[in-house]
């Protein structure tokens, strides 16, 4: 074997371990009985310790040194060179994280998530607070071990969005506010009730699943390499490109919850299924920090695809002109007096609301800014866990003009903190911005794309995304993907133009 082949085999074994961890996490969130949380934590801790010890071992250092020498003269953009570079970068980072921190977090996570789920159901933040405090303490310990020059948040956001910092996110958020807040103000001033409320009916859950599953396949989800399950908080997870699973949740009276949750997670799944087969079990489909061995280069890049397929495609007028008749076939009574235009307007209503995952496109990023500011306060000591319900409600009123009636619809609504996901939220906003840049470039580069989307043919768009984004796995950074496919780095103009155009037409704004 060559030096690179030895290195590749060593990383493939790490990838296998991380995939085994992900299988246990998927099971914990979908099928595991509540009584299994503690022992599942022990299993995850054991595997997480094995994974970290495997990665930061002397053997990894030896294989890395030899592989670096072998690829030194190769094209700097080749997959081999990028695989070695990324492994070196994360090897130097992960070796500073105490194995005890990784093990403790893995042990705590399934228990904490189970407590969170029950606390949310029972509107009982106090029962969850001690577990959140433990997760926060472990995250702080990791941040100090990794090191940072600005804010402790910088050490954790790197895990999800390597190019982001607290300072750069402030600039991004300020740029977005400058466009979003005036638009929201105009929309609220021009808002009028719809002639019919489509969500006053019951939508049988089995039929909701059937329609969502059908739409997932329409936009390209390969069901031979995937499945759809139920989870308290929807997510996508992959165990290589050949096993990519999605989840959603259902509301009997609110069809959009499950439908757009399914489309959102399908967008993630398309990314994973579209990775070049040659990258399977390599460094370019391995998350060395142990969240998931995802193929995507960052959470923002991944969210760009979930948000693109959910919103820019799934909430488009063209989508409902094509698929409304099928929805009416499945729900003939509920949709008897409706048409594609009413459906389009119904799924694009702008209204400041309580729940992030159900927020409209104009207000969604305000939810992310709120969470990011809270995380920064928790990490630098400016905020205390016990104060979170009050702080959350105050910020909801400040940003969105609404106050949660209880903690279940407030501070307890997201699963992320229960698993230690501090730093993950900004990826949603970065993804929103990236999605508009990608789609704009696709329209410029794919002949007849408007016509194909208007006929419900999503393969030309999917093909462009596979070629320019998905196939590369983690080879290129988010900004490199943007530069290579659109010619520009991350910037808010295309996204704000998309929102301004869409909602000015919807609300008759000048």
> What pLDDT score was predicted for residue 273?
97
pLDDT (tens digit, 9 = 90+) per residue, 409-435? Answer: 999 999 999 999 999 999 999 999 999
Domain total of the chain:
1
**Rounded distance between C-alpha atoms, residue 279 and residue 15, angstroms:** 11
Phi then psi for residue 229, to 5 deg, are -130, 180
Packing angle between helix 364-380 and helix 125-146, nearest 10 degrees?
Answer: 70
On whether the CB atoms of residues 127 and 153 are closer than 8 A, the answer is no
Q: Is residue 89 part of a domain?
A: yes
Residues in CB range of 172: below 8 A, 6 or more apart = 429, 430, 433, 490, 492
pTM for the model stands at 0.94
The answer, yes or no, to whether residue 290 has pLDDT greater than 80, is no
Q: Given the residues 265, 272, 303, 310, select the one marked as catalytic.
A: 265
pLDDT digits (tens, 9 = 90+) for 314-342: 999 999 999 999 999 999 999 999 999 99
What are the backbone dihedrals phi and psi of residue 362, each rounded to the nearest 5 degrees, phi first?
Answer: -75, -40
- Examine residue 36 and state whether it is found in any structural domain, yes or no: yes
Encode pLDDT of 112-147 as tens digits.
999 999 999 999 999 999 999 999 999 999 999 999
Check pLDDT > 70 for residue 187.
Answer: yes
What average pLDDT score do residues 376-382 get? 97
Comparing CA positions, the residue from 81, 465, 431 lying closest to residue 273 is 465
pLDDT on residue 253: 96
Are residues 85 and 381 in contact, defined by beta-carbon separation less than 8 angstroms? no
CA distances in angstroms from 410 to 128, 254, 356, 393, listed in the order given: 13, 19, 10, 7
**Residues 459-488, mean pLDDT to the nearest whole number:** 97
Predicted local distance difference test score (pLDDT) of residue 295: 73
* 307 within 8 A of 326, measured Cβ to Cβ: no
Average pLDDT taken over every residue of the chain: 96
Establish if 310 belongs to a structural domain. no
Q: In whole angstroms, what is the distance from residue 416 CA to residue 421 CA?
A: 5
The confidence score (pLDDT) of residue 247 equals 97
State the average pLDDT over residues 267-280.
97
Q: Residue 296 — pLDDT band, cuts 50, 70, 90?
A: confident
% of the chain exceeding 90 in pLDDT:
96
Tell me, what's the pLDDT at 497?
A: 98
pLDDT digits (tens, 9 = 90+) for 161-171: 998 999 999 99
| Catalytic residue check, 265 | yes
- CA 411 to CA 173: how far, in whole Å? 21
Beta bridge partners of 228: 246
Residues in the chain: 510
pLDDT band at 291 (very low <50, low <70, confident <90, very high): low
Instruction: Of 181, 177, 125, give the one whose Cα is nearest residue 404.
Output: 125
pLDDT reported for residue 120: 97
Cβ burial of 202 (10 Å; 0-12, 13-18, 19+) is exposed
436: CB partners within 8 A, 6+ apart: 312, 494, 495, 497, 498
pLDDT of residue 500: 98
Write the DSSP symbol of residue 358. G
Do the domain assignments include residue 52?
Answer: yes
Band of the pLDDT at 212, cuts 50, 70, 90?
A: very high
User: What phi, psi does 223 have (nearest 5°)?
Assistant: -75, -10
Residue 79 in domain: yes
| Mean pLDDT of all residues in 207-231 | 98
Residue 382 has pLDDT above 60, yes or no: yes
Is residue 329 one of the residues assigned to a domain?
no
- Residue 303 pLDDT class (50, 70, 90 cuts): very high
Range of the domain at 118: 3-148
Residue 236: Cβ within 10 Å count: 23
Angle at 291 between CA 311 and CA 439, to 5 degrees: 25
**Residue 292: pLDDT band with limits 50, 70, 90:** low
Kindly report the number of other CB atoms within 10 A of residue 432's CB atom. 26
Q: Is residue 486 part of a domain?
A: no
pLDDT exceeds cutoff 90 at 233 = no
Alpha carbon distance 220, 246 (integer Å): 14
For residue 198, being part of any structural domain is answered with no
Predicted confidence at residue 321, as pLDDT, reads 98
In 3D, which of 266, 323, 271 has the Cα closest to residue 295?
271
Range 294-312 average pLDDT? 93
Residue 293 has pLDDT above 80, yes or no: no
Q: Are 102 and 48 in contact (CB under 8 A)?
A: yes
Quote the pLDDT of residue 176.
97
Strand-strand pairing, 226-230 and 236-238: unpaired
Helix count and strand count (H, E) for the chain: 20, 3
Condensed to tens digits (0 to 9), the pLDDT of residues 37-71 reads 999 999 999 999 999 999 999 999 999 999 999 99
């Amino acid at each position: 074997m060559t030096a690179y082949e030895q290195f590749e085999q060593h990383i493939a074994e790490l990838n296998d371990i991380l995939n085994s961890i992900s299988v246990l996490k998927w099971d914990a969130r979908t099928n595991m009985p509540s009584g299994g949380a503690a022992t599942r934590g022990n299993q995850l801790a054991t595997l997480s310790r094995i994974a970290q010890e495997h990665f930061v071992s002397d053997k990894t250092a030896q294989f890395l040194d030899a592989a670096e020498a072998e690829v030194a003269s190769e094209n700097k953009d080749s997959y081999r060179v990028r695989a070695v570079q990324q492994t070196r970068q994360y090897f130097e980072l992960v070796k500073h994280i105490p194995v005890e921190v990784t093990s403790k977090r893995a042990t705590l996570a399934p228990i904490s998530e189970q407590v969170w789920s029950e606390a949310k159901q029972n509107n009982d933040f106090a029962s969850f607070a001690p577990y959140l405090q433990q997760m926060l303490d472990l995250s702080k310990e990791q941040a100090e071990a990794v090191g940072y020059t600005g804010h402790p948040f910088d050490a954790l956001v790197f895990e999800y969005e390597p190019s982001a910092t607290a300072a750069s996110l402030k600039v991004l958020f300020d740029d977005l506010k400058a466009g979003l807040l005036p638009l929201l103000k105009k929309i609220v001033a021009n808002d009028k009730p719809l002639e019919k409320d489509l969500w006053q009916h019951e939508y049988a859950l089995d039929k909701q699943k059937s329609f969502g599953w059908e739409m997932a396949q329409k936009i390209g989800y390969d069901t031979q390499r995937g499945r759809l399950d139920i989870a308290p908080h929807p997510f996508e997870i992959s165990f290589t490109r050949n096993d990519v699973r999605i989840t959603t949740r259902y509301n009997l009276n609110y069809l959009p919850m499950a439908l757009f949750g399914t489309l959102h997670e399908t967008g993630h799944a398309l990314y994973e299924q579209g990775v070049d087969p040659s990258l399977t079990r390599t460094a370019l489909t391995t998350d060395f920090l142990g969240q998931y061995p995802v193929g995507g280069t960052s959470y923002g890049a991944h969210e760009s695809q979930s948000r693109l397929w959910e919103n820019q495609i799934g909430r488009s007028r063209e989508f409902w002109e094509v698929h409304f008749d099928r929805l009416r076939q499945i729900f003939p009574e509920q949709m008897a007096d409706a048409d594609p235009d009413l459906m389009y307007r119904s799924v694009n209503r702008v209204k400041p609301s309580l729940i992030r995952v159900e927020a409209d496109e104009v207000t969604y990023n305000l939810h992310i800014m709120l969470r990011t500011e809270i995380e920064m306060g928790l990490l630098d000591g400016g905020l205390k866990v016990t104060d979170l319900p009050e702080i959350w409600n105050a910020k909801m009123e400040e940003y969105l003009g609404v106050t949660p009636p209880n903690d279940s619809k407030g501070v307890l609504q997201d699963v992320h903190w229960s698993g230690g996901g501090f730093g993950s939220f900004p990826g949603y906003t970065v993804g929103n911005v990236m999605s508009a840049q990608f789609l704009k470039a696709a329209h410029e580069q794919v002949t007849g794309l408007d016509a194909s989307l208007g006929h419900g043919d999503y393969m030309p768009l999917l093909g462009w995304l596979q070629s320019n984004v998905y196939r590369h796995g983690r080879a290129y950074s988010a900004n490199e993907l943007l530069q290579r496919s659109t010619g520009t780095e991350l910037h808010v103009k295309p996204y704000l133009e998309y929102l301004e155009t869409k909602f000015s037409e919807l609300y008759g704004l000048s």
